[in-house]
Structure 1
Amino acid sequence: MSKPIVNLCRIVAAAVLMLCVLSLTAHAQAAADPLPSWNEGPAKNAIIKLVTATTTAGSADFVAPGDRFATFDQDGTLWVEQPVYTQVVFSLDRVVALAPDHPGWKTVEPFKSVIAGDRAAMAKFTTRDLEKIVFATHTGMTTGDYTALVKDWIAKARDPRWHRPFTDLVYQPMLELMRYLRANGYNTYIVTGGGQDFVRAYADHTYGIPPEQIIGSALDTDFTYNDAGKAILMRPPKLLLNNNFSGKPEDIYLFIGRHPQAAFGNSTGDREMLEYTQAGGKGALMMLVLHDDPAREYAYGPAEGLPASKVGTFTQALYDEAMSKGWNVISMKKDWKRIFSFEK
């Protein structure tokens, strides 16, 4: 082989080797980033700072592995809540499914409007109207039967905008965040104003969070026996826990018995949870998701001039409190490279 050809082969081999090294380096850098769907900035830095401070032995903010807790609101914080909460959609679908067994509903509100598909009337439903619907569609059955209903519905139902299962509309950056925290010894809890048993039906598969780490609004349960003498729990039309606003820190104490080191929310219903977390000290991290990306998701507030919304209300007063107390506001538009796992 001539000398020029030998030299050319050496140059090509060196170039190939360099490309391989660069490729491996890029992969290693990507693997080293625990939050790849987050843009570099204050929000991402605050998360990494918390984990570093609370997991580094000798740090003033060090927390023992068994004592590390983080709480997450669900609707609007972990997955899409617009144009209406997923559990409300489930409840309305249940009214329609049960209507043949309740002919009187056709003339009684709020059931009449649901059966007729009157969206204008449904948009005006009061809290009392929704309570009537929940009691009619979520009770009078065993806890096991209810869980089976939710699992069946969540597997089949589709969001009207993306035409995907609701469990596909989970925010990829928050999934990464929860995995990052758990990898560093944190217990991750969902603390939601939604139904505790509703979320328990899919949370393990969707978020990697087991049923015992779900804190939510809950109906009472009655211990009794079925016709075969088997012990069962029935769901009566009686509210046990209203896990919203001040109910969130109250129930966090009831279930966990301590302050979290981190809390994540997106609306006025999460305010007290973040205040309670900050009161615990230890370099606590408080974060609120601001929905300001109408192209990839939705935009609503009314904080910072965004459109007002009854679903997931984020007021200017809450935004101002966050700024004054050193909380972090996550901008969907600026802080998240991608919102959903199915984004290209």
Structure 2
Amino acid sequence: MPHGSLVAITRRAAAAALLLLAMLAASVPALAQGASPGADPLPSWNDGQARQAILDFVNKTTEQASPDFVPADDRVATFDQDGTLWVEQPSYTQFIFCLERVPAVVAKRPELAKVEPFKTVLSGNKEAIAKLTMKQLETIAVATLTGMSVDDFNAEAVKWTSSAKDKRFGRLYTELVYQPMLEVMAYLRANGFKTYIVTGGGQDFVRSYSQRVYGVPVEQVVGTAGGTKYGYGKDGKPFLTKEPKLLLNDNNAGKAEGIHLMIGRRPHAAFGNSTGDQQMLEYTKGGDGARLSVLVLHDDAEREFAYGPAQGLPATKVGTFTQALYDEAKKAGWTVISMKNDWKRIFPFDK
């Protein structure tokens, strides 16, 4: 299958599935509200360099007398999703969605039950599933993410994210969002910034819950995007069908390219957590005036997960944060958030 057949899911997600499958043996989180005058806008943060960097950035970009003042129209902040706004271990949520949709796909096309890789997935044999090739994983992605109307896909995604739960935490995936980051988004919005999600995940998938989970409208989600085809139903009404054609791989350099294509303004603030976000943070920091580039370092195995391999943390194929990226961040003046040291609590449901 050609590379262009992969829709709304990147190769990093497919590769990460191998790790997930080898390891595997409705309430919605409340959005942080805009703080009232005099209230702490970041109550889930410990005092420290990371918190102060965010406060200083907002102050100097929104104070009219500041030499770093940014006009309201140019106040753009971008956020990666997986590992930056919500949990990404042991695998990306969207790929779990794909795997769990296989039975439904086969029910509509029974002939697939005896065809690989669907036969292996249906078997439930984790060791066999973990050995699926990249081409086979792409086949699963195409079968579960395309060939339906955009409205039908959105309904399926909404249904799944409203009920599917993570095995470790026993919570809806949409509850496993980082409270400190919800507060940052609310704080930025309260100060005139538009907050965008710029993700390697599927654009349509993230749009199905971005408003209710993050307060980010669908038009402010930039993700890996596939093609659509215009057509008419039996009733004569027009609709769009999701096609197995890749339009934008919104990861690595594709994030900066996607920002230009979909937003048209260089961000003044960008938040990420892995090598896939490097170019977005470089692009942000490369602009004139005050810029804020931030990385989340997962170093809290007790409350969430610990992985890198930066700073001697365990290596991972999911959300890799290399030592080289850490060193560049320090050299370039980016802010690195220590989840363990900078966050008082991680999830909205934490006490």
- Which residue identity lines up with residue 283 of structure 2 in the other structure? Y
Deviations 1:266-316 (A, max 9, x none): 000000000000111221000000000000000011111111111101111
1:132 aligns with 2:139: yes
SS in 1 for 2:261: helix
Give the C-alpha shift of residue 124 in structure 1: 4.3
- Which residue identity lines up with residue 338 of structure 2 in the other structure? S
Question: Could you say which structure has the greater relative contact order, defined with CA pairs below 8 angstroms and 6 or more residues apart?
Answer: 2
Give the C-alpha shift of residue 140 in structure 1: 1.1
CA contact (8 A) 1:30 1:36 kept: no
Measured at CA, do residues 104 and 66 of structure 1 come closer, stay the same or move farther in structure 2, by a change above 3 Å? same
Measured at CA, do residues 62 and 124 of structure 1 come closer, stay the same or move farther in structure 2, by a change above 3 Å? farther
State how 1:84-163 maps to structure 2 within 5 Å. Answer: 84-163=91-170
1:189 aligns with 2:189: no
Q: Would you say how many aligned residue pairs link Structure 1 and Structure 2?
A: 317
Give the C-alpha shift of residue 134 in structure 1: 1.3
In 1, the alpha carbon distance for the partners of 2:135 and 2:76 equals 34
Structure 2 stretches lacking a partner, 5+ long: 1-34
Give the C-alpha shift of residue 170 in structure 1: 0.3
TM-score of the pair, normalised by structure 2 = 0.87
- Which residue identity lines up with residue 189 of structure 2 in the other structure? R
- Which residue identity lines up with residue 164 of structure 2 in the other structure? A
- Which residue identity lines up with residue 127 of structure 2 in the other structure? A
Equivalent position of 1:327 in the other structure: 334
- Which residue identity lines up with residue 251 of structure 1 in the other structure? G
- Which residue identity lines up with residue 170 of structure 1 in the other structure? V
- Which residue identity lines up with residue 65 of structure 1 in the other structure? A
SS in 1 for 2:244: coil
In 2, the alpha carbon distance for the partners of 1:127 and 1:184 equals 44
Deviations 1:210-254 (A, max 9, x none): 000000001101111111110111111111111000000001001
Tell me the percent identity.
Answer: 60
Equivalent position of 2:9 in the other structure: none
1:303 aligns with 2:310: yes
1:38 aligns with 2:26: no
State how 1:203-242 maps to structure 2 within 5 Å. Answer: 203-242=210-249
CA contact (8 A) 1:243 1:251 kept: yes
In 2, the alpha carbon distance for the partners of 1:325 and 1:283 equals 13
SS in 2 for 1:189: strand
1:293 aligns with 2:295: no
In 2, the alpha carbon distance for the partners of 1:208 and 1:62 equals 25
Deviations 1:175-203 (A, max 9, x none): 00000000000000000000000000000
CA contact (8 A) 1:99 1:115 kept: no
CA contact (8 A) 2:103 2:122 kept: yes
Deviations 1:98-126 (A, max 9, x none): 22333443443332332122323434445
Measured at CA, do residues 330 and 168 of structure 1 come closer, stay the same or move farther in structure 2, by a change above 3 Å? same
Equivalent position of 1:73 in the other structure: 80
Which protein has the bigger helix share? 1
Equivalent position of 2:23 in the other structure: none
Measured at CA, do residues 126 and 188 of structure 1 come closer, stay the same or move farther in structure 2, by a change above 3 Å? farther
Equivalent position of 2:320 in the other structure: 313
SS in 2 for 1:77: coil
SS in 2 for 1:115: helix
In 2, the alpha carbon distance for the partners of 1:294 and 1:48 equals 27
Measured at CA, do residues 271 and 293 of structure 1 come closer, stay the same or move farther in structure 2, by a change above 3 Å? same
SS in 2 for 1:236: strand
1:269 aligns with 2:313: no
CA contact (8 A) 1:193 1:243 kept: yes
In 2, the alpha carbon distance for the partners of 1:268 and 1:286 equals 13
SS in 1 for 2:200: strand
In 2, the alpha carbon distance for the partners of 1:259 and 1:330 equals 22
Equivalent position of 2:349 in the other structure: 342
CA contact (8 A) 2:105 2:143 kept: no
- Which residue identity lines up with residue 148 of structure 2 in the other structure? M
TM-score of the pair, normalised by structure 1 = 0.89
Give the C-alpha shift of residue 165 in structure 1: 0.6
Measured at CA, do residues 129 and 319 of structure 1 come closer, stay the same or move farther in structure 2, by a change above 3 Å? farther
In 1, the alpha carbon distance for the partners of 2:125 and 2:77 equals 40
Structure 1 stretches lacking a partner, 5+ long: 1-27
Equivalent position of 2:57 in the other structure: 50
Q: What CA RMSD, in Å, does the superposition of the two structures yield over aligned residues? A: 1.6
In 2, the alpha carbon distance for the partners of 1:169 and 1:59 equals 37
